[in-house]
Structure 1
């Protein structure tokens, strides 16, 4: 655990001074996993034999002076959310329908980390097909919050956040469709970024809602997050939604200087439904940012009240189309019957969990003849209005700020029978996916002994400013240094 109290740049320095080896880091990761993951449940699959063999090769490169000293991620262990393709390693999206699926290629984001000589120690728990806000929809096992094992870690990237918070790996990759990186980052007291849509390739990510999904990093600090983002960002010709735009040097943005910056605070983000303890921490964070020289003003996102229903109609509609491919014929588990139609029915009814079925049915209904214009088309119009709200505010403000979640982590089982209450957990995060803008969650203290996340939202492709504000706040506080005791 002591090794992973260090930042990524600290670990890099220790490796190149030969004070530790890559093998030491990988052993430490698996040791910690064996100590705590039976309680936390962050990992679905471990890659120990291959990881140790790879560590040995990288140690040889280090000892021979062949390791690139500018490659900060060299030799560092990483966990990958189980909806990203990993060559030679099972990828299930936490669903029974893909229980036997082993990909024949790597996702682009995974490939970029491999090129940086990181070591994948395993695949991380998640809500099935990334559908959920609590990680209770995994078809394999529960993932628990390291701060309180009776509470959820957030979803759908619950395993990715819990693994970092509990010191099992120094960083992970998650995916965010409506808040699935930021919400678990907030609940687990770590840093999670949803990049601008199109900034990180989605190639090799098992699609939930293709126009909303984005891969992003989860880390202990903002600087660590920027290092990982620097590596995975960039254009990919294999992804038609990937934007061919130069990737700036995110590390240069971490100056700590935010004097003169204008911050908008949407009044809707601190309205009814947001717990008093969460509001208090956000107001303290805003006061701290003003101390650092920024100006905070109340603003409005007038169409935000329509965003949640629009998000669930659009995401479910895209899911109903994307998940049609899981039929047991070409890949995945097959439940054989005498007739083809019965094979489809049995495979899908037994392979998908309740939440996935619920969203497929909702999406199919919204896309059906007679309802398409009333629901899907109207939701797309709302999406445009939400995007325009952000664009109008960003003409006057550098970033927008509010809480990441309306509450602290809730108890396991508390909302599982109430899908509508569960969906409301995304109320402060799904707008950014609809608009495609970047947003980060950073720890900003605790309420009732549980982590609270501060959400910082930026303009399209302006992750630099988001990182600048997040880093300045982090350096002026000690919230990121707090750790759960397992």
Structure 2
């Protein structure tokens, strides 16, 4: 649902997928052996084109033989004797029949596995908070209506909430402004897949009627927003950004959209995502970075980040599986909040990885993210992994009261955002925060565990792969879904179970690091934080902290950078509190891209 930013293979570095390595090893053996191996793992009809034709020319109904087993041994990490291969053959042929019986069953994308991932396996517990303390405490700043629509377009949620409640602006005005700006800039941004104008204007009129009558649902009441187009909305297309699904409609509305409806927010558009939640390339275009229109916005929450950055919507709902909120938020210079796994229900959302998918807000500030998270959090009957999580967020809380660690080694050396990250550490020290140097110290092969995403994504879209529907995806080649889905078919089932078991080790070690902290500060793409915390389910707030010039001259384009604050499980408020404190002392998050 929010799997991979466009740069996945680049910033994972040494954590390249073991399954890719296995696949390449398989390709180094004799082609006949490779085709035999395909048959042995049930892939004789998988590959398109010439390769499929060559497999089909073999005896299609021939059973698995000892030769097939011998060819597949290298992938399974085995070395068998001839007698052992003979013993295997009958069982393997029986298994093939069973696999075919399973493939004949209808397994929609929404069907979750019987096993449910629980991040508490690492040792964390749900916090106990008195009901009276649950919920965000955020005062609304008394402001006058801005003098121009341009100023209004970049107002914060708190400011808009005051203006709406004081009836200095109407929801219809804000909704029409958002629609106008989206249409004005989308020929450059390519951030919109479909508009929900009729639904939006009806919701805005309803919000105005309620506000006129003195009914106030909260700070999102009457505020327009956009949603990543992997969230179902009844009566609209839900394309998942992919050619095979570009006319798809789903007869339900995602839980997170229903909760925003209940909060009075106004959905104005379904925003772009890289096809099937990878990158910023969807079936019709590449979504662009408002700070540099020659550059993609990264992804996969490409449209949400671009639209918020350009002042088209005050906030948007994105998703992350392995960087898909953090990466586009960094690229587009906005604030992203990846909540604790399970804190936001995923009913009605495209499934990519049942054990790693998270939904969360992308907005102008941590304070705005707190408003949105407060509205969308909580258990969802449609999502067995979801839980009710308290949120005792207090915008007035001092950063000094937080126990803050930082990945000292990760901030050393030379990397793109090093100077800005050091300045952020200085800001924290200036706020009176005592930074404790820490290390993840996890002796677990994180890169190997990330194969979990590949395998679960391949299962989520298995039929698309087996029917060659992946050939319709715009992106083809090495680092693309079609190749990943096929590669994942070669990950042995035993290895997949071992990934799950080692993942518990990782969760326990990460919990040991986090249990004495309220927040861990990390470079957004350094120290292994992104991969580790997406596997463990820890929440993260990514805030812009740099606008590095990429050209010379007064009108030079600038490249945003970011830093990440990670909190213990179910303590999202700590990361948001620290991010809010930093943003009160700095102004990077208030800068506007030069898209005009």
Alpha-carbon RMSD across the aligned residues, in angstroms, is: 2.1
Counterpart pick for 2:365 among 221, 226, 239: 221
Structure 2 residue 424 is the aligned partner of structure 1 residue 249: no
> Does the 8 Å CA contact 1:25/1:77 hold for their aligned counterparts?
yes
Name structure 2 gaps, 5 residues minimum: 1-149, 550-557
SS of the aligned residue for 1:204 comes to coil
Cα 1:151–1:271, aligned 2, differ >3 Å: closer, same or farther? farther
Structure 2 residue 538 is the aligned partner of structure 1 residue 434: no
Task: State the shift of 1:96 in Å.
Answer: 1.1
Separation in structure 2 between the aligned mates of residue 289 and residue 256 of structure 1, nearest angstrom: 14
Deviation string 1:411-452 (CA, Å, 9 cap, x unpaired) is xxxxxxxxxxxxxxx954222110111111011122333111
SS of the aligned residue for 1:151 comes to strand
Cα 1:438–1:131, aligned 2, differ >3 Å: closer, same or farther? same
Q: In structure 2, what is the equivalent of residue 458 of structure 1? A: 567
Q: In structure 2, what is the equivalent of residue 79 of structure 1? A: 226
Q: In structure 2, what is the equivalent of residue 62 of structure 1? A: 211
Where in structure 2 are the equivalents of 1:345-356 lying within 5 Å? Answer: 345-350=467-472, 353-354=475-476, 355-356=480-481
SS of the aligned residue for 2:293 comes to coil
Where in structure 2 are the equivalents of 1:361-400 lying within 5 Å? Answer: 361-366=486-491, 371-373=492-494, 375-400=495-520
Runs of 4+ deviating beyond 4 Å: none
Separation in structure 2 between the aligned mates of residue 50 and residue 237 of structure 1, nearest angstrom: 25
Deviation string 1:279-298 (CA, Å, 9 cap, x unpaired) is 11111111111111111132
Q: In structure 1, what is the equivalent of residue 484 of structure 2? A: 359
Counterpart pick for 2:175 among 15, 21, 26: 26
Task: State the shift of 1:306 in Å.
Answer: 3.1
> Does the 8 Å CA contact 1:127/1:156 hold for their aligned counterparts?
yes
Where in structure 2 are the equivalents of 1:273-284 lying within 5 Å? Answer: 275=415, 277-284=416-423
Separation in structure 2 between the aligned mates of residue 40 and residue 52 of structure 1, nearest angstrom: 23
Deviation string 1:263-291 (CA, Å, 9 cap, x unpaired) is 2222453366x62x411111111111111
Q: In structure 1, what is the equivalent of residue 77 of structure 2? A: none
Separation in structure 2 between the aligned mates of residue 163 and residue 446 of structure 1, nearest angstrom: 18
Structure 2 residue 245 is the aligned partner of structure 1 residue 95: no
Name structure 1 gaps, 5 residues minimum: 328-343, 407-425
SS of the aligned residue for 1:130 comes to coil
Count of aligned pairs? 435
Where in structure 2 are the equivalents of 1:55-454 lying within 5 Å? Answer: 55-63=204-212, 65-66=213-214, 68-132=215-279, 135-136=280-281, 138-243=282-387, 245-250=388-393, 252=394, 254-267=395-408, 269-270=410-411, 275=415, 277-303=416-442, 306-311=445-450, 313-324=451-462, 326=464, 345-350=467-472, 353-354=475-476, 355-366=480-491, 371-373=492-494, 375-405=495-525, 428-448=529-549, 449-454=558-563
Task: State the shift of 1:323 in Å.
Answer: 1.2
> Does the 8 Å CA contact 1:177/1:430 hold for their aligned counterparts?
no
Task: State the shift of 1:4 in Å.
Answer: 2.3
Deviation string 1:230-285 (CA, Å, 9 cap, x unpaired) is 00001112211012x342232x2x2251215332222453366x62x411111111
Q: In structure 2, what is the equivalent of residue 416 of structure 1? A: none
SS of the aligned residue for 1:149 comes to strand
SS of the aligned residue for 1:2 comes to helix
Query: In terms of mean alpha carbon deviation, does 223-232 or 286-295 score higher?
Result: 286-295
> Does the 8 Å CA contact 2:256/2:344 hold for their aligned counterparts?
yes
Q: In structure 1, what is the equivalent of residue 156 of structure 2? A: 7
SS of the aligned residue for 1:480 comes to helix
